[in-house]
Amino acid sequence: MKATRSDFPILPQELIAEILCRLPVKSLSRFKSVSHSWCSLISNPHFAQTHFTQTTNKMPDRLILISDSHILFSVDYSVDSPVATEIHFPSVEDESYDVWAEILGSCNGLVLALNESDVAMYLLNPSTRESKKIPESPFALNSVNACNLCGLGYDSMSDDFKIVMLSYYGGGVDEESGATTETNTIVSVYSLKSYSWRKIQGSSYLHCAGDPSGVYLNGCIHWLAQRSSDYISVIVAFDLGNEVFREFLPPPFVNNAVLPWFYPAVLGGYLCLPAFTDVWVMKEYGKKESWTKFSICKREDVSRIDVVCLLEDGEFLLSRDEEQLVVYNSKDETSRDMVVCGIPGSFTSGGTYVESLISPERIHGIGRQCEACERMKRILQVMVETYEAGTCQSSTNKESYRVEPSSSSSNIEASTSSSSGDRASLSICLHFLKFIQMVEGPFYEKALRMFQDPLWRKLFINMACEKKMF
Amino acid sequence: MSSSLEKNMLILRSSDGEEFIVPEVVAVMSKAIKNMVEDECASNTIPVPNVDANILAMVIEFCKKHDESEAEAASDLKTFDSEFVNRGQEALYDLITAANFRDVKELLDALCQNVAEMIKGKSVHHIRIQFLGYQLFEILTSNFIWNIWCDRDFD
């Protein structure tokens, strides 16, 4: 049976890109297998960036949870009946185990997480299940009383993701001032584009570790700290663009005594400071007058409340005793339990992330797909060379199958489609050639000549199957 | 010759020769026409090749609505948009190419969003036949290759 050609004409590539960049990641992952050109479009880092800007603010955030067995779960809480899905990262398994201790940061769909088994940082994309191990910072301090704080952020100026690490000798926290006794803080920055750490000018603030991770908002990573000159508590913002620290004042209640207990958070796009049963929200970024307090009425039998995220209309998503998600309305002080299918019995909230195609691997360099293509190209090269050497010796009289490299391969397909039942037919080999990008010119001709021989075709297809490419 | 024409009105001529009189503010929602008007290379009749009368009327309807309702509630415009783009595949295709060709950003946005909604839950097979107009042969071979090449499934 022959499929009828659809009446719907084929759209130009630019319009297909326009349409595809409005689709959710799940659909796009599936549509990678529609055709070669769709796959390379969807895998393209530039497309990932366009897709992110196009869908940002339109796609709901997802919640990330760490179960008590240290497995990551993702929850889409915006739908009527939320479901918690386990997220596994196949490539982490090569080096370590897929178990996670802590989420250290989240930015543009990427999540920085601490692996439980090898105590290394990994950059993850929970939507595409891609992961990348981040090497240890050579500038980080390793002694027992050293503290390392880190944060993940995106620098739009250099179009680069950066991981910032602050290292200092804790020497214990001074009981009276709450300040760390050692003032020397080393700041190192990891750039995802250059795959390397570099040391920059140190921080003059006294950092203290309430929580080891900084939060990303508006191109800056935020921590709570103290000025070293007058010991006043401030929120420091590390600007990823020009790599300097800025500061602004926290809500009035924050003083040195309570400082180590708190850490800033980003809830619903606002910089927030959850404090016991209050949540301070900075309504206007950078304006200390805009700190607004929301109070949460806690039931007496509840021992622990964590604010997970800010919903619309003054509603908060809370986690109660690390075992139940609760939607709390701060206006009428009502709360209702959120029923999530498949949620682990006990969990820690790791904050939220947005869905994106942005790959921790493919920021700049070549991705896994390209790597596979490269590998296959090398195999092909070796085969062609061997074949050439063989034919030179026997100097066959076979008429060369000459095809202009520029001519569309559809002609060839047409002429060979009769043999499409054969597993190693010429047309299938040609489809492979289309797949392995950058095969062109004389090399393409040589490959075609080699594919004339059914034995070599069979060998090539077998090799491709055996290597499995990915 | 322009005497019969009101001020700030332009005539758009479709590919099949039909003429539409539209206010300039509406016409310049197409960037391509805007550039022509700004460069003063357009007489008051602007040919719109590749777009037939049927489609041009739809595009003008869309632009007029968007021009009028700038002050109106955004939700009203959204309902209009979603109703406007709810058409058959053929008209949708013609509209998309017209919007792309004449560079009408709002229309292109609305149309692409609509197509995206349409294909969001579709299977790969469906997309290939409906969207790319693939033939059976191509589907068979590319399936074969993909079975080898893809061992990852995100679903």
- Structural domain ending residue among the three candidates A55, A79, A97: A55
| Cβ-defined contact of A34 to B113 (cutoff 8 Å) | no
Does any domain span residue A130?
yes
- Structural domain ending residue among the three candidates A10, A32, A55: A55
At B1 the pLDDT is 40
Range ranked top by mean pLDDT from A2-6, A121-125, A428-432, B3-7: A121-125
Residue A98 contacts residue A63 (beta carbons within 8 Å):
no
Residue A460 structural domain: 366-391+421-470
**Do B23 and B40 fall within a single domain?**
yes
| Any A CB within 8 A of B127 CB | yes
| Any A CB within 8 A of B100 CB | yes
At A400 the pLDDT is 44
| Any B CB within 8 A of A266 CB | no
**Do B110 and B142 fall within a single domain?**
no
Q: Average pLDDT of A245-258? A: 79
Q: Could you tell me the two tokens for A216?
A: 């990303």
**Do A159 and A254 fall within a single domain?**
yes
How far is the C-alpha of A414 from the C-alpha of A407, rounded, in Å?
13
Does any domain span residue A385?
yes
Does any domain span residue A332?
no
- Poorest-confidence range of A455-459, B26-30, B72-76, B110-114? B72-76
Which is more confident, B99 or A4?
A: B99
**Do B135 and B74 fall within a single domain?**
no
Q: Could you tell me the two tokens for B68?
A: 């009028």
**Do A224 and A96 fall within a single domain?**
yes
Tell which of A1, A6, A463 to mutate to test the B interface (max B CBs under 10 Å). A6
Kindly provide the residue ranges of all beta strands, DSSP E only, lying in A109-229, ordered along the sequence.
110-115, 121-125, 130-134, 146-155, 160-169, 185-191, 196-203, 205-207, 215-217, 220-227
Q: Which helix (H) or strand (E) holds A62?
A: strand A62-67
**Do B127 and B108 fall within a single domain?**
no
At A470 the pLDDT is 34
**Chain A residues close to B96, C-beta within 8 Å:** 11, 15
User: How far off is chain A from B68, nearest CA to CA, in Å?
Assistant: 26
| Cβ-defined contact of A417 to B131 (cutoff 8 Å) | no
**Chain A residues close to B124, C-beta within 8 Å:** 30-31, 33-34
| Any A CB within 8 A of B88 CB | no
A254 three-class SS? coil
**Do B101 and B125 fall within a single domain?**
no
Average pLDDT of the residues of chain A = 78
At A416 the pLDDT is 44
At B66 the pLDDT is 80
**Do B115 and B125 fall within a single domain?**
no
pLDDT in tens, A13-27: 788 888 888 888 888
Residue A209 contacts residue A217 (beta carbons within 8 Å):
no
- Among candidates A287, A284, A306, which has minimal Cα distance to A296? A306
**Do A267 and A381 fall within a single domain?**
no
| Cβ-defined contact of A19 to B130 (cutoff 8 Å) | no
pLDDT band at B68 (very low <50, low <70, confident <90, very high): confident
**Do A97 and A188 fall within a single domain?**
yes
SS3 percent helix, strand, coil of chain B, rounded to 5, is 60, 10, 35
**Do A101 and A219 fall within a single domain?**
yes
| Cβ-defined contact of A10 to B145 (cutoff 8 Å) | no
pLDDT in tens, A298-343: 777 777 888 888 887 778 888 888 888 888 888 888 888 888 888 8
Q: Average pLDDT of A278-290? A: 85
How far is the C-alpha of A149 from the C-alpha of A104, rounded, in Å?
9
At A179 the pLDDT is 47
Does any domain span residue B4?
no
**Do B77 and B105 fall within a single domain?**
yes
**Chain A residues close to B127, C-beta within 8 Å:** 31, 34
pLDDT band at A467 (very low <50, low <70, confident <90, very high): low
Residue A447 contacts residue A388 (beta carbons within 8 Å):
no
Based on the structure, what is the number of domains in chain A?
3
**Do B67 and B131 fall within a single domain?**
no
Q: Which of residues 128-147 of B touch A (CB under 8 A)?
A: 128-137, 139-142, 144-146
How far is the C-alpha of A286 from the C-alpha of B112, rounded, in Å?
37
The order of strands in the sheet holding A84-87 is: A84-87, A72-75, A62-67, A347-353
Q: Which of residues 423-442 of A touch B (CB under 8 A)?
A: 427-428, 431-432, 435
**Do B112 and B138 fall within a single domain?**
no
Q: Nearest CB to A435: which of B108, B130, B145?
A: B145
**Do A49 and A192 fall within a single domain?**
no
**Do A69 and A118 fall within a single domain?**
yes
Q: Average pLDDT of B85-102? A: 80
Q: Which of residues 377-416 of A touch B (CB under 8 A)?
A: 413
**Do B69 and B98 fall within a single domain?**
yes
User: How far off is chain A from B95, nearest CA to CA, in Å?
Assistant: 12
List, in order, residues 6 or more apart from A415 with CB less than 8 Å away: none
pLDDT above 90 covers what percent of chain B? Answer: 0
pLDDT in tens, B71-90: 566 677 777 777 787 777 77
| Cβ-defined contact of B141 to A7 (cutoff 8 Å) | no
How far is the C-alpha of A168 from the C-alpha of A163, rounded, in Å?
17
**Do A91 and A49 fall within a single domain?**
no
pLDDT in tens, A166-223: 888 765 444 444 444 455 788 999 988 888 899 888 888 887 756 668 889 989 999 8
**Do B47 and B63 fall within a single domain?**
yes
Q: Average pLDDT of A271-281? A: 82
Q: Which helix (H) or strand (E) holds A448?
A: helix A441-451
**What Å distances lie between residue B11 and B16, B26, B27, B56, B99, CA to CA?**
14, 11, 9, 12, 18
Q: Could you tell me the two tokens for A202?
A: 């140190």
User: How far off is chain A from B104, nearest CA to CA, in Å?
Assistant: 13
Does any domain span residue B3?
no
**Do A111 and A211 fall within a single domain?**
yes
For tokens 């003063």, the residue is B40
Q: Which of residues 224-243 of A touch B (CB under 8 A)?
A: none
User: How far off is chain A from B56, nearest CA to CA, in Å?
Assistant: 19
**Chain B residues close to A460, C-beta within 8 Å:** none
At A164 the pLDDT is 92
Does any domain span residue A18?
no
How far is the C-alpha of A83 from the C-alpha of A340, rounded, in Å?
5
- Among candidates A150, A164, A332, which has minimal Cα distance to A240? A164
At A392 the pLDDT is 67
Based on the structure, what is the number of domains in chain B?
2
| Cβ-defined contact of B124 to A29 (cutoff 8 Å) | no
**Do B135 and B85 fall within a single domain?**
no
- Among all residues of chain A, which has the CA nearest to that of B99? A15
Does any domain span residue B155?
no
**Do A41 and A119 fall within a single domain?**
no
Does any domain span residue A260?
yes
Tell which of A28, A32, A33, A371 to mutate to test the B interface (max B CBs under 10 Å). A33
At B136 the pLDDT is 47
How far is the C-alpha of A114 from the C-alpha of A136, rounded, in Å?
12
pLDDT in tens, A339-374: 888 888 888 888 889 888 888 876 544 445 555 666
**Do A50 and A170 fall within a single domain?**
no
At A189 the pLDDT is 92
Does any domain span residue A229?
yes
CATH of the domain at A181: 2.120.10
For tokens 């929602």, the residue is B29
Does any domain span residue A325?
no
pLDDT band at A415 (very low <50, low <70, confident <90, very high): very low
- State the complex-level ipTM: 0.75
| Any B CB within 8 A of A420 CB | yes
pLDDT in tens, A139-149: 888 777 778 88
Does any domain span residue A143?
yes
Q: Average pLDDT of A70-99? A: 86
Residue B132 structural domain: 121-150
Instruction: Give the CA count within 13 Å in the CB-facing half-sphere of A204.
Output: 10
What is the total residue count of chain B? Answer: 155
CATH of the domain at B76: 3.30.710.10
The strand pairing partners of A248, in sequence order, are A235
At A118 the pLDDT is 85
| Cβ-defined contact of B100 to A5 (cutoff 8 Å) | no
**Do A212 and A80 fall within a single domain?**
yes
At A163 the pLDDT is 93
How far is the C-alpha of A332 from the C-alpha of A210, rounded, in Å?
31
